[in-house]
Amino acid sequence: MPSPDPDRISRQDLRRAQRRRRRALAAAQPDAGARAALLLAEDALPAFGTFAAYLPAGGEIDPAPLAARLMARGGRRLLPRVMEDGAMRFLDAPPEGVLAPDAAGLPAPPADAPGLRPDLVIAPLLAFDRLGGRLGQGGGHYDRTLAGLRRTGPVFVLGLAYAGQEVDRLDLEPHDQKLDAVLTEAGYRRLPQA
């Protein structure tokens, strides 16, 4: 399946095309999350105590195998919750924890769960490029949250995706937050931050 040319279509059309692509990749590679987790070298990531993962939806690659590896290394897992005011917070999410729908209707830790600052964020995406560009769903939740985190200190952002989600170049907007690295079923790659 050829990659859409992000220079020739609107962001909305690119998102639609990438959603179709991601669903097709998910159907063709249901074990991609497990394969990706196995390809992450122990020393690839900076030191972390807490990490934010996500629960997959819409064909997103499953981060559960990667999260299990990170928890086995002593990491504390957080999950996102979209709050009533539209802000996204990362809340403590132990494996046995209860989940409830958030303001976006997605399963999330309860609103009264402790909010923590992650050192590492595993970010879902629709598309990425070799320069660290990330195309999200369009709500801006991750971009706003990552910008806020980066204003308060370092945070390492790892895009988790199918290799087939890579595009030649994304036309980024000023608010778009870049990835530090990407992990796919084909391997791990640090990305430039220029």
Q: Would the pLDDT of 123 be above 70?
A: yes
The CATH architecture of the domain made up of 11-190 is 3-Layer(aba) Sandwich (3.40)
For residue 1, what pLDDT band results from cuts at 50, 70 and 90? very low
Residue 33 pLDDT exceeds 60: yes
Please state, in angstroms and rounded to a whole number, the distance separating the CA atoms of residues 21 and 39.
23
Q: Where are the domains of the chain?
A: 11-190
pTM: 0.93
Task: Classify 73 as helix, strand or coil.
Answer: coil
pLDDT tens digit sequence for 169-193:
999 988 999 999 999 999 999 998 7
Does 89 have pLDDT greater than 60?
yes
